[in-house]
Structure 1
Amino acid sequence: MRRPWRSVRSRAALGATVVVAVALVAAGIAVLLVLRTSLTDQAGLQAEVTAQGVASDIALGTSLDQLDLPDADENPVQVVDEDRRVLAVSDDLDAISGAGSPQVEPTTAPTSDDDDDDDHGDDDPGKGQVSGDTPQFTSGAATVDGTTADYRFAAVEATTPTGVTVTVYAGAPLATEQGAVSTVRGAMLVGLPALLVVVAAVTWLVTRRALRPVEGIRREMAAITASEDLGRRVPEPSSYDEVARLARTTNETLAALEASVDRQRRFVADASHELRSPIASLRTQLEVGAAHSELLDVDGAVADTVRLQHLAADLLLLARLDAGERPGRGTVDAEALVREEVSQRRAAGRVPVTVRVQAAGSPQVAGSRGQLARVVGNLLDNAQRHAATAVEVSVREEDGRAVIAVADDGPGVPEAERERIFERFVRLDDARARDEGGAGLGLAIARDVALRHGGTLTVTAGEGVGAVFELRLPLAAQVVGDRGQ
């Protein structure tokens, strides 16, 4: 059952919406904090200016009952002494909190010159002073004519000309700050959901458009799977993004798979064809022998059996190579391997084989001795089959590799066919008898084994006539060094 919320589009839209929501909420909180702090600081500055003005009047000698205090609803002011007794307060102030005292009625406070009135009553008292310390700020509330509002209070100390220290508390309303914060918060609460809806919709549409080619690739792959037609290809977008690269890689994979399946089909068809001939011949001979024992061709039956055995061994080796069988990690003496193959398996050949060693010491290669012997044997079989008078095998070192070259003086290989002869079941001499020419697997096996050992197998023209097959293999010391890195 398909679940839409588990699709890439849904997850991308949800993820983008969540990320944007978190970012916007964080940004909104930061904006509100900055706005509130800024407006509160402005209110504090206004309160400080008011408090400084009242404190300056007090320092200049203005009596407390003659102070010109601002209106309470704009800038409520309260003057208290060191004992927190209220000395002056703005008119119409019903209640206050956050200032020096919760009292809103002035009380009579003694002055510092009451006791010395007789001695200094006629002297000039001079001027007081306003404290230069940083004002203290507090937040509170004030009730004016029955209306309560929040205020930011600034406290400034002043000394009267007679030496009495008082503290002036002046407030500035926070209504502007609260109104601005409330307006911004409301706008955010309304705009945030709408913005998130837009983000989710845009992300959904963009992701849907971006993934549309992927859906096309999926549908085509499903159709290929259903039809088993590996010749079909997925559509490639004209863009140069990751989806286009995915489509190209998918088509390359389909092409490789199609080629592999085609090779497998040809291999099965060719193997069936090659097996049919010796099996049919062997059956015919056995049936004749069963009916007329005196007519049984034992030598022919044995030859067909041997040929069938060799063909089956070749097919099994190719199957193991196709399955990715790794060669052994032993060390093989190239010169000894060549001499053994020449002496033990080619002594009775149609033409003589000579061995020429051009290296100072016998090159050592890494790999499977049995598989490498099979390569050398197949090359010798091929050379003796086509040579006119002689076959020469040389062993040398060149550019850090061991080179085994098998040369014959036969008709050679046309340049256009020098790669084709390494394909399976390929025989260039169509007029050649099947029994003499083999099944066309020897060179294919030789190249596959060479590649599995990290080497190469190529064919070139000989000097004047013939062909030269060169097997190049990495030296054992180099292979061990590469594995150790």
Structure 2
Amino acid sequence: MRLLRRLVPATLFGRALLTLIVTFGAFALVTSSALVFYALIPVAHRSASDLASIMVLSARTLTQLPPDLRDEYRNRLATEYQIRLAEERPLADSRRYFFPYLKRVEEALSQRLAHRVEIVTSVANGERWFWAAIGVGEETLWTGFPRSRIGTRPLQGLAVVVLVAVFLIIVTTVILAGRVSRPLRRLAEAAEQVALGFSPNQLSETGPRELANLARQFNETSRQIRELLANRTMLLAGISHDLRTPLTRLRLAVAMLPQGTSPDLVARLERDIDEMGALITQAVELGKNLGAGRREVVDLRILVEELIVGQPRVISEGGPRCHCRVDALAVRRIVGNLLENSLRYSRDLVEVYLDCQSSRPVIFVLDRGSGIPEGELEAVLRPYYRLEGSRNRATGGTGLGLAVAHQLALANQIELRLGRRRGGGTIASVRLPSQCWDKDATAAPRRVDARAGGP
């Protein structure tokens, strides 16, 4: 059973196939055993007994006939009963021939002759014969019958039964599992679309009662999620609009402060207002439906160069062009947020590399900061989660940059990974979809850290 579970895939079709194999296999085994023990074996035993009786009787009758009638008797035996009688031992075939019926004939002959009888085989004119030595008085006659006299083909019959059973099991599994797996597959695809931030079409609410009810509940849940996201976006947009008005008044008030006001105080107030504006902008950005945008063919090398231009602590290696069909705005925002995060937490150089040699284009962002603990690599992708406990943006940021990048990556089938860099620091990899790119121009791959998947 464990071997079957390993061989059969862990899918609905595979499980149904395994169940049918076990069920029908057990039924076939019990049925076959009953037929063999209660029908075939008794019939075979009776048939072997009758054949042994005819063989013994034929040999004894031949010895009692006058010599001039023996040839005619042999011919009649061969024609009517397919039995031959010979005085000399036939040339035996040394090859082993599997025929379970012979065992029954040997037992019947041994019982009638009161000594052990062994049947040998020979091949004459392309036909296999079975011979047994029967002693009659002072003579020993070899009595034989051809394989064609026994019309049974047990191995062929078993093969037909097995093939028909396998065919019926597979057809039944396809029909039964298909009726269940198709709606579930559509449900799984729709759930994946919801997870990526899309609004899937309504599922059909027909079919078996359980599946129809499941589709109905999913449609209702999907509708509630869409309404929740729309309400959240509307709420954040309203809060943003309401908060920007007093922020504007604050800016105006700071600008109108008396000339004797301390410049440091004015600078702190302006910085606080700017931080509040940035917080509101990022919160609204996270609240929006960060889905997939329009895809277009872009040169990833040029995209990376445009992102790092003007950045004093960012280095990158050039290379051949690397064309890829992606949502360029989403890739810019993802890599831009990663760069901003690396520059904030690292005082050393930040490195950016583009790898177009592998099966999927990858953009690596590496820094030499304090790094992210192993247990926090997934948590830092959640909104407002920060490793640094204070609310100071100079040391900890807002906790939204990586969350926005992560949500954009999910919506665009982009794989965003964070890892610990050898020697200290963080490595981030942005793996674009494999079907997006054109390998007309490729860049030589760089050796990357095995644990983190990057340089």
| TM-score category, normalised to shorter length | 0.3 to 0.5
Q: Which structure has the larger Rg over C-alpha atoms?
A: 1
More strand by share: 1
The TM-score normalised by the length of structure 1 is: 0.39
The TM-score normalised by the length of structure 2 is: 0.41
